[in-house]
Amino acid sequence: MNYARFLTATSAARKPSPIRIWTEILSRAPKSVISLATGSPNPNTFPFKTAVITTKQGNTIQFDEEVMKRALQYSPSAGIPELLSWLKQLQVKLHNPPTIHYPSSQGQMDICVTSGSQEGLCKVFEMIINRGDNILLNEPAYSGTLQALLPLGCNIINVPSDGCGIIPDSLKEVLSRWKPEDSKNPQKNTPKCLYTVPNGNNPTGNSLTSDRKKEIYELARKYDFLIIEDDPYYFLQFNKPWTPSFLSMDVDGRVIRADSFSKILSSGLRIGFITGPKPLVERIVLHTQVSTLQTSTFTQLLVAQLLHQWGEEGFLAHVDRVIDFYRNQKDAILAAADKWLSGLAEWHVPTAGMFLWIKVKGIYDVKKMIEEKAIKKEIFFISGSDFYIDSSTPSPYLRASFSLASPEQMDTAFQRLAQLIKESL
């Protein structure tokens, strides 16, 4: 892998921040060291002393005075050591990346903590995308991703998908504009990366099959592009065994994977992590050194202590409980849809995540109905056009989330939606 060809001039020009390097050195230094190097504020001036957090199982996580001083202080930009080591072990257990023992220059698996996966993804995009670059993704796509990409001035090429995600034959057709050897010629502007949400895609709820992933990965090898595997709903797959990830297939070191604890531990703690080839993860860390400096030390320590308290088995048992909850929520929204929307709309049964993607029959564009009339009936949905590269594109689709509403509320909402559709036809 020639990673240099994927970097923007801005990313390639980044140098380590001397102050941040000293912060990392100090975090590993023995207590006997006298440091007059960093500008870390004196923790004795902070108004917080101790904390005790109680989990739902009745266990506690305690921050005594010394731990609290550390929790409220600067920490290494890549993440605190105990959280990084736990996450690396988790990735090896779940994905067993082929690159785990590669030399660092040849794409050895590395990892860094980010303030939610969205922050990590924005840094990935700014690391590899120049104005005019060709980027592959499948519509409809998460609106936050589109709003991150569009200002970068890249050409976003839609790859058609269906109920099982990206269609490999359609990807082949898109790539047929180039020859495989064109990737070695910058003038040919071959696609730099493919972005995809492989499980419980937001907004459709669709998931890529294992066979399709294998075909897509081989095309990435053939045409030498990166795969950005944005997988925030990986831990919300309803059926086991879970589908193998792109990371688990990555013999080249061309997959950048974004994971998040937002859906299973807390969205407010803002803990995500990027896994990928070391030469690229290092670039993300350099960006962090001069932007956010680090993810909150307090939330990292809180999550690290919880994970070490649970162990891998305890963590996965918690994940199973979360999946059971969302599976029941999914069943409830499908029951409500069957009850009220049959004949008026159609939908795919989601295999992961927290969304139902609904196509309203007989209405060319639901935007006005959703954004004006539905609000008056006190029901909120997102219109489908918000998930397209051109948001002015008419769409008969709407996205319904089943994460927060109770089964009774979903039933009432779909009853009102059915009435609204009938009024709008």
Percent of the chain with pLDDT over 90: 96
> Which of 312, 337, 366 corresponds to the end of one domain?
312
Residues 302 and 353 in one domain: no
User: How many domains in the chain?
Assistant: 3
- Which position has the token pair 């109920």? 163
Residues 259 and 325 in one domain: no
Residue 55 falls inside a structural domain: yes
Mean pLDDT confidence for 149-155? 97
Task: Give the containing element (helix H, strand E) for 375.
Answer: helix 374-376
- Note down the domain range covering 259: 3-19+77-312
Q: What is the pLDDT of residues 216-252, one digit of tens each?
A: 999 999 999 999 999 999 999 999 999 999 999 999 9
Residues 63 and 107 in one domain: no
Q: Is the pLDDT of residue 49 over 90?
A: yes
- Predicted pLDDT at 137: 98
Task: Give the containing element (helix H, strand E) for 110.
Answer: strand 109-114
- What are the contacts of 168-177 at 24+ separation with CB within 8 A? 168/212, 168/215, 168/216, 168/219, 171/136, 171/216, 171/219, 172/219, 174/136, 175/219, 175/222, 175/223
E runs forming strands in 261-402 = 272-277, 345-347, 355-360, 382-383, 397-401
Q: What is the pLDDT of residues 262-288, one digit of tens each?
A: 999 999 999 999 999 999 999 999 999
Q: What is the rounded CA–CA span in Å between residue 37 and residue 28?
A: 14
Q: Torsion-angle region of residue 143: left (phi > 0), alpha (psi -120 to 50) or beta?
A: alpha
Residues 59 and 8 in one domain: no
Residues 116 and 202 in one domain: yes
pLDDT band at 23 (very low <50, low <70, confident <90, very high): confident
- Predicted pLDDT at 319: 98
Residue 142 falls inside a structural domain: yes
Residues 271 and 383 in one domain: no
Residues 339 and 223 in one domain: no
Residues 235 and 325 in one domain: no
Could you check whether the bond before residue 140 is cis, i.e. omega within 30 degrees of 0? Answer: yes
Residue 34 falls inside a structural domain: no
Residue 243 falls inside a structural domain: yes
Are 284 and 270 spatial neighbours (Cβ–Cβ below 8 Å)? Answer: no
CATH number at residue 347: 3.90.1150.10
- Predicted pLDDT at 177: 97
Residue 40 falls inside a structural domain: no
Residues 84 and 67 in one domain: no
- Predicted pLDDT at 344: 98
- Amino acid present at 384: G
Q: Is the dihedral of CA 294, 299, 300, 301 positive or negative?
A: positive
Residue 202 falls inside a structural domain: yes
CATH number at residue 170: 3.40.640.10
Q: What is the pLDDT of residues 67-122, one digit of tens each?
A: 999 999 999 999 999 999 999 999 999 999 999 999 988 999 999 999 999 999 99
Residues 247 and 129 in one domain: yes
Within 10 A of 231 (CB to CB), how many other CB atoms are there? Answer: 22
> Which of 312, 338, 363 corresponds to the end of one domain?
312
Residue 190 falls inside a structural domain: yes
- Predicted pLDDT at 377: 95
> Which of 312, 330, 354 corresponds to the end of one domain?
312
Residues 297 and 188 in one domain: yes
Higher pLDDT among residues 26 and 45, named by residue: 45
Mean pLDDT confidence for 117-141? 97
Are 351 and 200 spatial neighbours (Cβ–Cβ below 8 Å)? Answer: yes
Residue 29 falls inside a structural domain: no
Residues 195 and 338 in one domain: no
